[in-house]
Chain A
Amino acid sequence: MKKFILILLVPFLAGFTTLQAQDRVLIPMDGSQTNHLKAYGVIFNHLVDGETGQWLLNYRGGSFMTTANNDIMRKLRVRNVRFEALSESEAVRIIQEVEQPNVNMASINLEAAPSIAVYTPPNTLPWDDAVLLALDYAEIPYDRIYDVEVLSGELENYDWLHLHHEDFTGQFGKFWSIYRNAPWYINRVQQLETTARELGYGSVRELKLDVVHEVRDFVGNGGFMFAMCSATDTFDIALAADGLNIVPPEIDGTPLDSDLNRRLNFDNTFAFENFELITDPYIYEHATIDIEVDLNRISESLDYFTLFDFSAKWDPVPTMLTQNHVSSIRGFYGQATAFKRNTIKNSVVVLGESPGRDQVKYLHGNYGEGTFTFYGGHDPEDYTHRVGDPPTDLSLHTNSPGYRLILNNILFPAAEKKKRQT
């Protein structure tokens, strides 16, 4: 009798198991993908909803795999993100292929979506912020914070912090020479000076230095920092010039300290060393970290930088940060366009450079328990974005490899912890 019942139960259980097997969805990130940027948003929001997924490093451009449900399928369709429905066995086969020891691929579990903060002033500025554009387009939620919030200790509520076109040296972006009479510049200076005064600082430089210290401590305690454009070099300059007045008198009315370059302390910095400050208020550069602008020498059509290859299994972090469907990416200018190789510390990992030109475009490093990534240039899809230019329409650049690097940084903190620590 018992045998009879068992014989009846087995097929039933097998069928039940089959019913329970979930379908999977693969979001390819190679050239077949219709909208790479929104794909990041879909997978990010999937994690926000409590789901998990996998990032298949170096598999078809760094594809994503997750369980299929109505919600994600609808999102993918509405956002025109190409996907492939897989059965469980197909998914297992792909994982096995990726995990083979002789291939440079790896599968990284994506767990919880990071909470994102973007350091940006509350008022509109006459230039776009590539990271904000990417986040908005990919529909990834974030909070805006600025000086008051940072100095109030709110950074501890976040996992990931973005800094874009900021000037942490207190020189208001060094726009003084061209824009000192422009209403937006006047407003910005006044607002910052008012904030500094209200918070008890003698100058904007001192205010920004404290902000830099807070961010430094945030990273040291395990936070992720991503900086682009002038936020990259000015962050390190502020750290190196701690306690020195490096702001020309034309800009803030106070005289410079003497012998500045000899007194810089490069032990404090994250990524850069052996640089010199540029204190001429008429020059739109902060230091010798940034490469020279030379629009005439190199044609835009030939200006590229190349991503390095890393071992997906042994170096998952830089591999995650360099996932892309192309290996060479079009260059783009910014206030800090790219970094001179001889100013980069040895402890830093170079992720992308312009070969033969000693210019590093994209780098990554560790500080304390956290990490930072610096990406030179202002807007990956605007070769020379100037003040007052309209913001880039990302719906025209749905497959932008330059923007993918930004979004890699957003997703990377979601990776399973043990994979991150390399």
Chain B
Amino acid sequence: MFKRLPFLILLFGFFLVADYGYSQTGDFQIANRLMQQQNFEEAKPILKELHQNNPGAYVFFDRYVECLISLNELDEAESVVRRQIDNNRSVTQSSIKLAEILHMRGNRDKAGEIWNETLERNSENIQAYYSVGSSMNNRREYQKAVEVYKTARERLNNPTIFLTELANTYMLAGLFEESVNEYYRLVINSPEQMGIVQQRLLRMRDDQLFEIAAFELEDLLFELDHSHAAYSQLYQLLGWLLLETEEYQRALNFARHYENQTQYTIYSLFSLGSQLQSATQYEYAAEAFRYYVENDTGSNRIRAMEELAKTYQMWSQYLQQHNLETDRRHRQLNEKAYNYGAKLLEEAPGYQNSNRVYSLLIDLSLDQFKDVDKAMRWLDELKASSGDQAYIYYAEGRISLFNRSYINARQQLTRADRATDNSNLSERSRYYLSLTDFFAGDYEFAEIQLRSLERRHTSYYANDAIKLRMWIKNGQRADTTGSVLKAIGEGLYSIHTGNYADALPLFEPILANANNPFADEITVELATLLPADYNRLNYLLLERQISAKPHSPLLERMMWDRAVLAEEIYNSGGLSMMETPPYMFSFFKTDDTSGRQLTSEEKFFRKIDAETTDSELQSVSDFNRQYISDLFEEIILQFPDGFYAPYSREKIQTFDLTPL
């Protein structure tokens, strides 16, 4: 037994120490929890005891001092810290803590001295610089912290240390230019850090910061050699910043500058052009692609021509969808798209993406020029060039639809959808398939096709799909026999094929009653789709509809269409100069046979109709510039934050600037 005694004593001692250590850990955890709960009074005695029993344990010392600071017992805190220093325990960290306490007490000079002394004593210790810098940041002495980090770079002869710390400190100090420049320096030294920098900027989500970052980065890139490993990364960041801040012209200028700098093509404008397309900035996108058409040769030029044609087409469609421009402007853009497409095929008949170009030309022939013969010629060329079968099916389907051959159209468009793995072609096929079903009167099938299109939020056709499906739903609700939808379908088909004179009589019974559920939508469709010959008719329709339904959900759109039409009429010489449209609704030919009360506006402004004589028009003051300006102003008054508000403001400004 006596032989085992030392062993037993040792074992006992071990468990005693272990138990004591365990209880200390438990106490420390309790104290920490109390600190988190802001119960500093309760935490203090626990931490005091822990520190007194373990003066060498920095963690207990640190928490105890923090607790005293939180209780505003700065005298006691200072004395504890000084005791620690005097006893040579964690001198560096304790000195830093002392500086913080003195700073808190208002003794900033003394605090600065201690920080500096600490650095002098540890001039080769990077951790010391880090700790002092952090301490200064905590005390909001950002300029001092910046100096410390810079000193560290000099003394340790390493210009790349503390890049992130400096950037953060500059940011906290509100010195955003310096901050972003440090981030860029970080990327220049380690291009793979770009993701971190971009994430950091993205998290800020601050327009002012993005603008500053873009300016600084532009300057940096002008000076940096384009062959530098980080140049491309930084250029990508600049492009992103400029697009975020909607500085499209600057993005274009810089991309051009970058492209010009290099001997080989880097496609900076190409990728920017695609981004600008997505942002519906078509004018800038066209400029981007035009660069390659005018300055490049070979396959780049041809590809650029395809993108340019596509941009013009998208641009026209966008303007047309929202009726932001006149019919003449749409035609101009479509003609440009068509011409570039045709020219491309002439220059490069074996172009690898010729299918897409033929498809574009066929779409334009049918949708814009209403010329099925033109479309047929392009189809023949597509077939002769051994084009992709899916595109051939699609083209055949579209032509069949145009020729009212619904059964063939269905078959061909369905085959096109199945045969392709191109999502754009698939969407178009489905859309026209649903349109085929709609025109043919098979509304259930049409709805099925449309539902899948609506779900594709990025699809160009999603909005059209929703609109068409709502029409089908509302039409079926209004009349279960389907006669209303049939009339609408027939009318839309005639417009689709350019037979406006056939379409309008079909819409007349619906439009005769301004409160018909479809009256607003058809009015808007006609304003969008009818050519300039029908401006007078459209104007009267819109006036009528706006007066009759001041709470229509399409009110803003109708007001915009009316104002744009009024401007176009004014620019064409006024109502008196307009030809009578090829067709005029009968309810416009007599004075107010609907029994509808004239609105206040109609009383105030003379009502114009097809019977109004030229001399009567002369005496009417409504179609002057002021009247048109008032129309746009009314949109802003009623819909100050509406979709058309910024466009209306632009129009009014144009009127204000243009001399009388």
Measuring CB to CB, which residues of chain A are less than 8 angstroms from any residue of chain B? 34, 77-80, 137, 180-184, 186-187, 190, 249, 253-258, 279-280, 388, 393, 395
Contact = CB atoms under 8 A, between A and B. Distances in A.
A91 B551 CA distance: 28
A181 B172 contact: yes
A142 to B, nearest CB: 17
Nearest to A73: B600
A395 B639 CA distance: 7
Contacts of B641: 393, 395
Nearest to B212: A183
B171 A181 contact: yes
B572 interface: no
Interface string B167-210: 01001111010000000000000000000000000001110110
A89 B209 CA distance: 63
A34 B640 contact: no
21 contacts: A78-B637, A79-B637, A80-B550, A180-B172, A181-B168, A181-B171, A181-B172, A182-B204, A184-B206, A186-B173, A186-B174, A187-B174, A249-B69, A249-B104, A255-B70, A256-B70, A256-B72, A257-B72, A388-B205, A393-B641, A395-B640
B38 interface: yes
A181 B200 CA distance: 10
Contacts of A249: 69-70, 104
Identify whether the interface residues of A are mostly helix, strand, loop, or mixed: loop
B638 interface: yes
B74 interface: yes
B180 to A, nearest CB: 10
Contacts of B224: none
Contacts of A255: 69-70, 72, 74, 104
Interface string B100-117: 000110000000000000
Contact of B140 (A77, A253, A256, A388): A253
A78 B559 CA distance: 13
Contact of B642 (A180, A254, A395): A395
B600 A77 contact: yes
Contacts of A395: 638-642
Contacts of A79: 637-638
B71 interface: yes
Nearest to B37: A280
The 3 residue pairs across chains A and B that have the minimum distance between CB atoms: A255-B72, A183-B206, A183-B209
Contacts of B209: 183
B252 to A, nearest CB: 27
Interface string B127-155: 00000000000011000000000000000
B538 to A, nearest CB: 24
B622 interface: no
Nearest to A280: B38
B27 interface: no
Given A80-B638, A395-B639, A186 B72 contact: no
B327 interface: no
Nearest to B77: A255
A375 to B, nearest CB: 24
Contacts of A279: 38
B103 to A, nearest CB: 8
Contacts, number: 60
B244 interface: no
A186 B172 contact: yes
Interface string B616-660: 000000000000000000100111111000000000000000000
B104 A186 contact: no
A43 B637 CA distance: 17
Contacts of A187: 174, 208
Nearest to A202: B106
B139 A258 contact: no
Given A280-B38, A395-B639, A34 B172 contact: no
Interface string B63-101: 000000111101000000000000000000000000000
Contacts of B72: 255-258
A190 B168 CA distance: 16
B87 to A, nearest CB: 26
Given A77-B600, A258-B71, A279-B38, A253 B139 contact: yes
Contacts of A254: 104
Nearest to A137: B640
A255 B38 CA distance: 13
B89 to A, nearest CB: 24
A255 B176 CA distance: 29
A363 B139 CA distance: 41
A250 to B, nearest CB: 8
B92 to A, nearest CB: 22
A132 B313 CA distance: 43
A247 to B, nearest CB: 12
Nearest to B36: A280
Contacts of A181: 168, 171-172, 204
B642 A183 contact: no
Contacts of B640: 137, 395
A370 to B, nearest CB: 33
A144 to B, nearest CB: 19
A78 B634 contact: yes
Nearest to A188: B174
Contacts of B204: 181-183
B639 A182 contact: no
A256 B209 CA distance: 33
A186 B639 CA distance: 35
Contacts of B174: 183, 186-187, 190
Nearest to A191: B174
A317 to B, nearest CB: 33
Given A78-B638, A186-B172, A395-B638, 17 more contacts: A79-B637, A181-B171, A181-B172, A184-B206, A184-B208, A186-B171, A186-B173, A186-B174, A190-B174, A253-B139, A255-B72, A255-B74, A256-B70, A256-B72, A279-B38, A388-B205, A395-B640
Nearest to B206: A183
Contacts of B171: 181, 183, 186
B622 to A, nearest CB: 17
B67 to A, nearest CB: 12
Nearest to A190: B174
B64 to A, nearest CB: 15
A182 B206 contact: yes
A20 B638 CA distance: 34
Contacts of A256: 70, 72
A187 B172 CA distance: 9
A12 to B, nearest CB: 31
A78 B637 CA distance: 7
A193 B637 CA distance: 40
Interface string B512-535: 000000000000000000000000
Contacts of B551: 34
Nearest to A281: B38
Interface string B336-372: 0000000000000000000000000000000000000
A395 B643 CA distance: 12
A184 B208 CA distance: 9
Nearest to A252: B140
A182 B202 CA distance: 11
Nearest to A139: B637
Interface string B464-508: 000000000000000000000000000000000000000000000
Nearest to B633: A78
A187 B550 CA distance: 46
Nearest to A74: B600
Interface in B548-571: 550-551
